[in-house]
Structure 1
Amino acid sequence: MSIPIRISWRATALGLGLALCTAAAPAAEAQAAFPHKRVTIVVPYSAGGITDTLARTLAAKLATLWGQPVVVENRDGAGTIIGTSAVARTPADGYTLLFTSYAYTSNPVLRRQLPYGPDAFRPVGLMGSSHNVLLVTNRLRGQSLQHLIDRAKAEPGSLKLASSGPGSSPHLGAELFATKAGIGFTHVPYKGQGPAMTDLMAGVVDGMFDGMSSYALVKSGKVAAVAIASEQRHPDAPEIPTFKELGMDFVSGSWFGMLAPAATPDAVVQQINADLHRAVEDPAVRAQIAKTGLLVALSTPEAFGQYLQAETKKLQALVKSGVRIELN
């Protein structure tokens, strides 16, 4: 005996309507003006460092410009690889961005393999650059650069220099300094600038290369500055001599900028770049950036890409010249 099955035309129409709405939702979202929901900026360093500070300064202003929440998420560890690879796996729609610095260019040169490919990202915009300053703990205050070098030569490995992570600008700065000075040292890596600076102030380590973002700690007497690795003295810290003035031809520093997953649409990338410029033009944002000692140098996505290529070639040339920097 067969049992008749009755299907309501209303239920059929409702189901069909829901199916059509569900199918149309992604298309409608894709066509919506950017941004129409929360944007996440991933910083592959711990909270409290200059990269994190700059990202939060930008995020606050971008949230105002966009009328949408802009959240900064710290995903530190493994020399920035954890946070960087996480962004590489996200949808390429502009809603998850990477705000990073020097390790982005050093990791592909210094590490044997990475969990993301060389073309995983596209440049959005360079924000600026900063030169490294050799900072020392207060128990070494007043000691000259030559004194530190002499001690390191007399007691190989006794000089403990911190960094914000393997392959970071402070790490590479220390390695290049050691090569120039002909000394050895003990590298003490941390998960970001914040915890490294905490231990420097406590005297756990002897010194650290860091940008002018730490100058406030120098002025307050919490750490001491020996020399800055730039061509000229910094206008905000004219009392800090350059390494060149002290007899060492040594220039070192970092950059800070925004990147997005490689397939992010051109229109979205160009809009974010334009809004980064608008954000930095705000006097209040400029004032916050000035506190970090960053030299602002905004660029187009294309110019930022060329800058990254040039930085990579510099590192490759250093490695080929015999400077040995081994990372896990």
Structure 2
Amino acid sequence: MHPFKILGIAAALAVAAPLQAQEIFPKRPVTIVVPFSVGGVTDLFARVTGLKLGALWGQPVIVENRVGAGTIIGTQYVSRAPADGYTLLFTSYAFTSNPELRKNLPYAPSAFRPVALLGSTHNILLVNNKLKGKSLNELIALARSRSAQGGLTLGSSGPGSSPHIGAELFAQKAGIPFTHVPYKGQGPAMVDLTAGVFDGMFDGMSSYPQVQRGAVTAVAIAAPQRHPDAPEMPTFKELGMDFVAGSWFGLLAPAGVPHDIVAKINADLREVLKDPELKAQIAKTGMQVSTSTPEAFGKFLAQETEKLRNLIKQGARIDIN
């Protein structure tokens, strides 16, 4: 059975939560491990959420950054933590992509159980201003006309990143060639996009200020509906392409954490994420807050994994080993 399906089944058992155990958690500080660097979007989300949880629980919530090896170091650390709910993993897209893209991971997805989906961000297709005014169909035609030269040149923040996968999905949907131009991070990629070094790239709503400043041009957003902070930007579906791509943020626990504790953490997360102040802070990063049950998050993880697995089977060129 698929490891994420196992996670989903395990999460479904969390509905029968003994009240007594819920009332005594937590009795001491809780650590949230973030496998990303301080100051990034995931780190910010974890810290503002941790502050609200700490206030609700009357116990400190410590955010600990364990960075390295494409999130593997921090993820491995939590996989080996005591299964008592006091060490949690605040992670993102890499949790589902690493098992498909990397060899010899020091942990298995089944070492975790889902707690809650917390938020998401969808990718925008950005192009340099040399291509300003080009419609989606015109960009597709341009890519086909350049087949001998490798099609469009699309940058990303690195091999296997959400922007890279977005480009692969787009090329597959459109039936066009493209040349991947990987960078070590979003910042350097954006600098070269604005300079016209390559044609375009997919990036999250955090890059929207660059569009507002006129540094780059947005073609469409790969989301089910228009973003409330960019209502003028069409979705790919509106332009004739049923295409959704982006990243997500969620909380996981070691697999052995009792069902009742997972249910307690989930319920408390759903409560603090209603806070307007928290939502406003998160919205500044381009993310949208969303919550789920543990069961729904387990199913979501399985779907994300299957999407990437199918992309690889259909010939996507993703090598990060």
Worse-matched range after superposition: 110-119 or 240-249: 240-249
What is the letter of the counterpart of residue 135 of structure 1? L
Determine the structure 2 residue equivalent to 1:25.
Answer: none
| Contact 1:94–1:260 (Cα < 8 Å) also in 2 | yes
Deviation at 1:250, TM superposition (A): 2.8
The CA deviation string for residues 142-173 of structure 1, in whole angstroms up to 9 with x for no partner, is 2535457368646438825122x443322211
Give matches, 1:22-37, under 5 Å. Answer: 33-37=24-28
Say if 1:48 and 1:162 are closer, same or farther in 2 by CA, change over 3 A: farther
Alignment partner of 2:311 out of 299, 308, 318: 318
Alignment partner of 1:134 out of 125, 132, 141: 125
SS state at 1:185 partner: strand
Is it true that 1:178 corresponds to 2:168 in the alignment? no
Q: Which has the larger radius of gyration?
A: 1
Is it true that 1:188 corresponds to 2:182 in the alignment? yes
Give matches, 1:61-80, under 5 Å. Answer: 61-80=52-71
2: distance between equivalents of 1:62 and 1:141? 46
Determine the structure 2 residue equivalent to 1:258.
Answer: 251
Say if 1:43 and 1:153 are closer, same or farther in 2 by CA, change over 3 A: farther
Determine the structure 2 residue equivalent to 1:301.
Answer: 294
Alignment partner of 2:40 out of 49, 60, 68: 49
Determine the structure 2 residue equivalent to 1:124.
Answer: 115
Determine the structure 2 residue equivalent to 1:60.
Answer: 51
Give matches, 1:6-17, under 5 Å. Answer: none
Q: Sequence identity of aligned pairs in percent?
A: 59
- Bigger relative CO (Cα 8 Å, ≥ 6 apart): 2
Worse-matched range after superposition: 153-162 or 291-300: 153-162
The CA deviation string for residues 168-210 of structure 1, in whole angstroms up to 9 with x for no partner, is 32221122223335223234243xxxx4135414657644322
- Considering only aligned residues, what root-mean-square deviation do their CA atoms show, in Å? 3.0
2: distance between equivalents of 1:136 and 1:63? 42
SS state at 1:79 partner: coil
1: distance between equivalents of 2:215 and 2:66? 28
Determine the structure 1 residue equivalent to 2:17.
Answer: none
What is the letter of the counterpart of residue 307 of structure 1? F
What is the letter of the counterpart of residue 196 of structure 1? Q
Determine the structure 1 residue equivalent to 2:11.
Answer: none
Is it true that 1:232 corresponds to 2:225 in the alignment? yes
Say if 1:183 and 1:78 are closer, same or farther in 2 by CA, change over 3 A: farther
Deviation at 1:271, TM superposition (A): 1.6
Deviation at 1:304, TM superposition (A): 1.1
The CA deviation string for residues 220-259 of structure 1, in whole angstroms up to 9 with x for no partner, is 4454323211243323212223334445443212221100
Determine the structure 1 residue equivalent to 2:101.
Answer: 110
What is the letter of the counterpart of residue 156 of structure 2? A
TM-score by length of 1: 0.77
What is the letter of the counterpart of residue 162 of structure 1? S
| Contact 2:144–2:176 (Cα < 8 Å) also in 1 | no
The CA deviation string for residues 119-150 of structure 1, in whole angstroms up to 9 with x for no partner, is 1100011113322112345x547253545736
The CA deviation string for residues 101-134 of structure 1, in whole angstroms up to 9 with x for no partner, is 2221122223333110131100011113322112
TM-score by length of 2: 0.79
Is it true that 1:197 corresponds to 2:187 in the alignment? yes
Say if 1:133 and 1:117 are closer, same or farther in 2 by CA, change over 3 A: same
Structure 2 unaligned residues grouped into runs of 5+: 1-20
2: distance between equivalents of 1:129 and 1:326? 25
Deviation at 1:86, TM superposition (A): 2.0
Determine the structure 1 residue equivalent to 2:269.
Answer: 276
1: distance between equivalents of 2:79 and 2:212? 39
Is it true that 1:40 corresponds to 2:34 in the alignment? no
SS state at 2:91 partner: strand
Determine the structure 2 residue equivalent to 1:90.
Answer: 81
Alignment partner of 1:149 out of 129, 133, 143: 143
State how many pairs are aligned: 293
Say if 1:140 and 1:36 are closer, same or farther in 2 by CA, change over 3 A: farther
| Contact 2:155–2:189 (Cα < 8 Å) also in 1 | no
2: distance between equivalents of 1:292 and 1:77? 23
